[in-house]
Chain A
Amino acid sequence: MRAILLVAGAVFRESVRDRVPYSMVLFAVLLMAASYLISQMTAGQDLKIIKDLGLASIAVFGLLIAVFIGIGLVSKEVERKSVYALLSKPISRPQFILGKFLGLVLTLVVNIGAMTAAFYAVLLYMNIVNPNLQIAAPAPSLDPRLLIAIGLILAELMVVTAVALFFSTFSSPLLATVLTLGLWVAGHFNADLRNFESVIDNPAAAWIALVAYYALPNLAPFDVKAEVVHGVPVTLRHVGLTLTYAVLYTGVLLTAAIAVFRRRDFK
């Protein structure tokens, strides 16, 4: 357990000294500030646009952090051979993988936290400058329900991190990036697979679509941004089951990563 925490700490420390997360957070904050300016130009849609853009920034930049750091987690160490020194210490290969994962999740929590703080700062500013805006809106400016959306984004990113980690245990950084992003896209179209049923009618294709729907990560239910912005309630049941799914699916991916990493030859 101690070994896992030590590796996690090392990952976090590396991310703190890495330029990538800072750039991402900076871009997100800039975008949120810009959204305030943009909102001045669209009559009556101000609050919606700020919220939409803010949530989208958090989702996109969070994704970039998860993918780009996640890919490097293992492949960089193996490429540069620092893994030789590490694995000759009293740490098992599974502990190594779990430590890397935990470290990146911690990094994400901190970075997303920073972006969320900036987000609420912009909303607060909006609220102070123009408090009448939220009267006509379906949800208040400083809506705590935004946190639900952000929480689910974080859970989604946890799954993406596990995907990135899994691919990085055996493929090159470039291939792993492509595969992870591809799986993320597929994960968002996954829910649409169910809608194909009523238009396409080939039984074999329908069966394949069903298997794909369950086997591939289903990421669309993590996206409650539209509901939250329009003030539509998100049930506890939905959040709870989706989080459960996230934890279980992440478990599958981490187990797979450990299985691959355990048997690997480091030439």
Chain B
Amino acid sequence: MTAGRIAPSNGLLYLAMAALLVLAVVAQAVRDRGWQPYEPPSDVMWIQSGPLADRLALSFDNLTADLYWMRVVVYYGGQRRSAVAARNYDQLFPLLDLVTSLDPQFRIAYRFGSIFLAEPPPGGPGRVDQAIQLLEKGLERDPKRWEYALDIGFVYYWWVGDYAKAAEWFRRAGDIPGAAEWLAPLAAVTLAEGGNRESSRRLWTELRDRGDLDWIKRTASHRLQQLDAMDAIDELNHSTQRFAARHGRPPADWRELAAAERWRGIPLDPSAEPFVLDPQTGRVGLSPKSGLWPLPDGSSVRARP
């Protein structure tokens, strides 16, 4: 750097640079409109083996694990962005396996990895077996991590619907020193009442409040809203039953019921869409137009297969 100088002015050059950059951006935008990065059919992952990668990464295991984790996120995001028919999550488990082999303490990889794996198509591969396998690997490496046991329980609870197994895992999680206090009661409730809405609510609240990935938070909030909607539907069903008992037939539409119950407006679900009232049966349901549709199957909290 020198103090002020009498040197040629670059004004025109800067203008030219800006113009060329704009044109370059335009060219890019036009090209991108028809282009997706090509993911070959069975993408050869050159390094399949965890221990091999470990050796190749020399002393940079953790860094390499981080890089591969970023690859997981990008891969998963990329697949979700592509057309439904073209989605292929084959590399997800191998990549997650690699990341956790390189860095066995990589908590996020286990926890969110299992969420990615368990998510049913088309949002994910729907591989609950792989999700459980991943979490069991983590637990084996680090038996003090009660969160992994909790997550396995969650997978059984929400995705598989096996409440007995879920309860067993919640209990195991609760037995690990340092675990949250609500795990033991949760185990008991799960065992007793199966797919109880309260336990589901508790689990989703736990996920939402973890606060690591916004995407996870959004999914959890979405589920919680669905649970709220289900609670609301139960309430509304009580109202229609009351009406039917009094008038001998179900309400014909919302206005009738609203007048009878002295509501100020017609009931809306948490996504601000009106509920659907069947005048034949008096049963209330969620509108297919709702952002929360479809609900996890009525009052019994069970996931789709």
The answer to whether the Cβ of A10 comes within 8 Å of any Cβ in the partner chain is no
A194 neighbours in B (Cβ, 8 Å): 81
Question: How many residues of chain A have a CB within 8 Å of chain B?
Answer: 39
CB distance from A37 to the nearest CB of B (A): 18
Asked if residues B214 and A251 are in contact (CB atoms below 8 Å), the reply is no
Bound together, the chains give a CA A195 to CA B70 distance in angstroms of 11
B264 neighbours in A (Cβ, 8 Å): none
Bound together, the chains give a CA A253 to CA B8 distance in angstroms of 19
Asked if residues B77 and A195 are in contact (CB atoms below 8 Å), the reply is yes
Instruction: Tell me the A159-202 residues at the B interface (CB within 8 Å).
Output: 191-192, 194-202
Asked if residues A221 and B31 are in contact (CB atoms below 8 Å), the reply is yes
Which single member of A195, A214, A238, A265 contacts B81 (CB below 8 Å)?
Answer: A195
- A200 in contact with B215 given A192-B74, A255-B17, A262-B8 (CB within 8 Å): yes
A226 neighbours in B (Cβ, 8 Å): 38, 40
Per-residue 0/1 for A35-71: is the Cβ within 8 Å of any B Cβ (1 yes, 0 no)? Answer: 0000000000000000000000000000000000000
Asked if residues A237 and B215 are in contact (CB atoms below 8 Å), the reply is no
Asked if residues B213 and A199 are in contact (CB atoms below 8 Å), the reply is yes
CB distance from B123 to the nearest CB of A (A): 10
Per-residue 0/1 for A230-267: is the Cβ within 8 Å of any B Cβ (1 yes, 0 no)? Answer: 10100101100110110011011001101100110100
Which single member of A220, A241, A244, A256 contacts B17 (CB below 8 Å)?
Answer: A256
Bound together, the chains give a CA A226 to CA B50 distance in angstroms of 25
The answer to whether the Cβ of B30 comes within 8 Å of any Cβ in the partner chain is yes
Instruction: Tell me the B77-99 residues at the A interface (CB within 8 Å).
Output: 77-78, 80-81
The answer to whether the Cβ of A107 comes within 8 Å of any Cβ in the partner chain is no
Per-residue 0/1 for B1-31: is the Cβ within 8 Å of any A Cβ (1 yes, 0 no)? Answer: 0100101101001101100110111011011
Asked if residues B34 and A237 are in contact (CB atoms below 8 Å), the reply is yes
Asked if residues A249 and B31 are in contact (CB atoms below 8 Å), the reply is no
CB distance from B108 to the nearest CB of A (A): 13
Chain B residue, CB-CB nearest to A260: B10
The answer to whether the Cβ of A218 comes within 8 Å of any Cβ in the partner chain is yes
Bound together, the chains give a CA A252 to CA B27 distance in angstroms of 14
CB distance from B8 to the nearest CB of A (A): 6
Bound together, the chains give a CA A230 to CA B42 distance in angstroms of 11
A227 neighbours in B (Cβ, 8 Å): 38
The answer to whether the Cβ of B202 comes within 8 Å of any Cβ in the partner chain is no
Asked if residues A259 and B74 are in contact (CB atoms below 8 Å), the reply is no
The answer to whether the Cβ of B41 comes within 8 Å of any Cβ in the partner chain is yes
Asked if residues B73 and A199 are in contact (CB atoms below 8 Å), the reply is yes
Residue among B7, B24, B35, B218 facing the most chain A CB atoms (10 A cut-off):
B24
Bound together, the chains give a CA A245 to CA B20 distance in angstroms of 10
Bound together, the chains give a CA A245 to CA B77 distance in angstroms of 26
Asked if residues B20 and A195 are in contact (CB atoms below 8 Å), the reply is no
Asked if residues A238 and B41 are in contact (CB atoms below 8 Å), the reply is no
Bound together, the chains give a CA A202 to CA B212 distance in angstroms of 12
The answer to whether the Cβ of B265 comes within 8 Å of any Cβ in the partner chain is no
Asked if residues A259 and B2 are in contact (CB atoms below 8 Å), the reply is no
The answer to whether the Cβ of B76 comes within 8 Å of any Cβ in the partner chain is yes
Chain A residues with a Cβ under 8 A of chain B: 191-192, 194-202, 214-215, 218, 220-221, 224, 226-227, 230, 232, 235, 237-238, 241-242, 244-245, 248-249, 251-252, 255-256, 258-259, 262-263, 265
Task: Beyond the given A214-B28, A238-B34, A248-B20, please list 8 additional residue pairs across the A-B interface where CB-CB is below 8 A.
Answer: A202-B214, A220-B37, A226-B40, A241-B28, A248-B24, A259-B10, A262-B8, A263-B5
Interface CB pairs A-B, < 8 A, 26 = A191-B37, A192-B74, A192-B78, A196-B74, A196-B77, A198-B77, A198-B80, A199-B77, A199-B215, A200-B214, A200-B215, A214-B28, A218-B28, A226-B40, A227-B38, A230-B40, A235-B34, A244-B27, A245-B24, A245-B28, A255-B16, A255-B17, A259-B14, A263-B7, A263-B8, A265-B5
Chain B residues with a Cβ under 8 A of chain A: 2, 5, 7-8, 10, 13-14, 16-17, 20-21, 23-25, 27-28, 30-31, 34-35, 37-38, 40-41, 73-74, 76-78, 80-81, 213-215, 218
